Amino acid sequence: MKIMISAVALAMSTAALMSTAPAAAQQAAAGAATAGQQKAAADFIDRIAADAFAVLRDKSLSKDAARGKFRTLLRANFAVDEAGLRLIRRYRAPNSPIKLTPQQLDAYRAALPDFLVNTYSDRLYDFASAKVLVVRTAPRGSRGDVDVYTRITDPKGGKPIDAIWQVKSGAKPLITNITVNGVNVALTQEADFSAYIEKNGFDALVDFMRQAK
């Protein structure tokens, strides 16, 4: 079974992967995002987009070297652990049909970053010439989080792609989710993971993630 995420979603949302802001910093924002927090989130997405595509456009880098640099960029800017736990929240709930052990959860968390990068980074080359324009921002929830609305041009001349980046405010902004043309990537991936687990079991999902190239 092939677990899919929009390549465009990853082209930006994966401009992140594995850095977690300290708990104190995460809780520092009280109330809806201020104008300053919204501007910081917009600048963050703008910078990530520029940095990500700069790596993909660098002809001096081999494919492996570009992939390595991109992986580093992803790990530094995406709240992967938080987002990854959200994908399996059904199985972490008290009434879960499957009781996960701490060892299973640790194995899943260890496999998640490389699974996302190894499965989708090659597809990002299709968007190396894309341009990302920040259209507007809006507060999200009551913890200072921000939705950054962008428009991504299609390098092949197709219709522009509208994407909303969910940014977690704090000492260091982090991407937690993206919606692409109305499709919520986290919800889609959660459904895919659940379907795979129901058919094959949780350990099989982790094995699949480890082996995906």
pLDDT tens digits, 157-177: 778 889 899 999 888 999 888
Lowest mean pLDDT among 39-43, 158-162, 188-192: 158-162
Is residue 48 one of the residues assigned to a domain? yes
Is residue 2 one of the residues assigned to a domain? no
Flag whether pLDDT at 35 surpasses 70. yes
Is residue 158 one of the residues assigned to a domain? yes
The CATH number of whichever domain residue 175 belongs to comes to 3.10.450.710
Q: Mean pLDDT across the stretch 56-78?
A: 83
Side-chain half-sphere CA neighbours of 45 within 13 A: 34
Is residue 1 one of the residues assigned to a domain? no
This prediction has a pTM of: 0.76
Is residue 79 one of the residues assigned to a domain? yes
> If pLDDT is split at 50, 70 and 90, which confidence band does 199 have?
very high
pLDDT in tens, 93-105: 999 988 999 999 9
Flag whether pLDDT at 11 surpasses 80. no
Computed over every residue of the chain, the mean pLDDT equals 80
CA separation, residue 179 to residues 24, 82, 84, 156, 172 (Å): 28, 17, 16, 21, 21
Structural domain span for residue 43? 7-211
Strand 161-168: give its sheet, edge to edge: 132-140, 145-152, 161-168, 174-180, 183-184
Of 9, 10, 14, 4, nearest to 75 by C-alpha is 14
Domain count for the chain = 1
Is residue 82 one of the residues assigned to a domain? yes
> If pLDDT is split at 50, 70 and 90, which confidence band does 64 have?
confident
Of 108, 131, 105, 158, nearest to 46 by C-alpha is 131
